[in-house]
Amino acid sequence: MPNLPKTWKTIALYSDAEGKYVPAPGARISLTRAALSDDLQTREMSISGRKVMQVRVK
């Protein structure tokens, strides 16, 4: 198990063309793992007009 982030880290960017979140460059945690893990907290937000998904340890 890699080191889990204690601060919010971006793991995915929303792609308007695909209509879904795609992995962010350099993301160490997959969207699937973030969604299924009880240890991680996720949030969706907008940064500079771009929708992103972020994760951190609960």
Average pLDDT over residues 6-22: 96
What is the pLDDT at residue 4?
Answer: 86
In the DSSP assignment, the letter for residue 30 is: -
φ and ψ at residue 23, rounded to 5 degrees? -60, 140
What is the pLDDT at residue 3?
Answer: 78
Contact 12, 47 (CB under 8 A): no
Give pLDDT tens digits for 17-49: 999 999 999 999 999 999 999 999 999 999 999
Six-digit token pair at 42? 């996720």
pLDDT for residue 53 is more than 60: yes
Q: How many CB atoms lie within 10 A of CB 29?
A: 19
Give pTM, 2 decimals.
0.86
What is the pLDDT at residue 2?
Answer: 62
